[in-house]
Amino acid sequence: MKKVLLAANISNTFQELLLQKSYALENWQGGVISKEVVGIITSNKLRLTQEVLQPCKNLKWIARLGSGIEIIDTDYCKANNIAFASSPAGIANAVAEHCVAMLISLQKNIQSSAFEIKDKEWIREPNRGWELEGKTVGILGYGHTGKSFARKLSVFGAKVIAYDKYKKNLSNEYAQEVSLSELQEMADVISFHVPLNKETTHYYNEAFIAACKKHILMNTARGELVDSQALLKALEQNKVIGAALDVIENEKDLVNKESTTWNVLDLLLEYPVIITPHIAGYSYNAIEKMSAELIEKLKAFL
């Protein structure tokens, strides 16, 4: 029996296709993956390390719902002829829309003033906001999501600059290519759209902040890109004037209400900071789009 392990939500279309091809679908419940599994559909819920993959002697392919493949041991997959694919295009619009929403909410004090209204406080002057028009937004990582965010920002009259270590000649009608140092010197808003790896872990740290003008930080990529203690220090010293975060370091610990990670969030929220629970790309539409993208990429293996 051919089995596909589901450790992520997929569209009905994807499920029906797998059933039509005589796959049995098994929901991930933890434990060792059975030898009958020939395909795995995963998200952040299941990290596919070499240790996890070794018992999967019949595994042929892995579909990753989302943009990052750091949760997959790709070296092991390549050595063992296991195909793998992610779905960055399918998630790009959802994340970009979330970025716009968070940034506007932060600049216009929408969330904070709405909570004041709930407490029967009608406060105007301290809630005076800033417009995006005329601001410079720096995008770090100009892939699918970075480009989608830049495209949306263009209608607000913001100047968008972008830096990507692995892409050159990326300037287009929505963004101007700059060096990293130029981005740090120019950007009023810095938004991260890079993968997590050894090079980018704590990429946003004290040294990075010291090279920047005063700015707003946005991170909808991976929590570990940002050194939370460095961010807290910069907020305290007013080197960073606000942050919009959909991801946070050690966020898996937050299922436990006694986790010390909650203490970090409490400290961050004493400043102009918006935090959402890793939902930027978690739209109903994105599930459909990512599923379609994975079907196309893996059609030779399904």
Per-residue confidence (pLDDT) for residue 44, from 0 to 100: 81
Query: What pLDDT does 144 receive?
Result: 95
pLDDT of residue 45: 82
**pLDDT score, position 298:** 96
Fold topology of 3-86: Rossmann fold (3.40.50)
Find the catalytic residue in 222, 224, 249, 293.
Answer: 222
What's the pLDDT score for residue 68?
A: 83
Active-site entry in 64, 98, 144, 278? 278
pLDDT at 60: 96
Which stretches of the chain drop beneath a pLDDT of 50? none
Question: Using an 8 Å Cβ cutoff, are 151 and 175 in contact?
Answer: no
- Is-catalytic flag, 202? no
- What pLDDT does residue 137 have? 98
Torsion on CA atoms 255, 258, 259, 261, rounded to nearest 10: 100
Q: Which is nearest to 65 in space by CA: 28, 34, 37, 20?
A: 28
177 has catalytic annotation: no
Fold identical between 3-86 and 92-275? yes
Q: Do 86 and 71 form a contact (C-beta atoms < 8 A)? A: no
Catalytic residue (one of 97, 249, 251, 293): 251
The class level of CATH for 92-275 reads: alpha beta
Query: What ranges do the domains of the chain cover?
Result: 3-86, 92-275
Q: Is 70 a catalytic residue?
A: no
Q: Which pLDDT value is given to residue 1?
A: 77
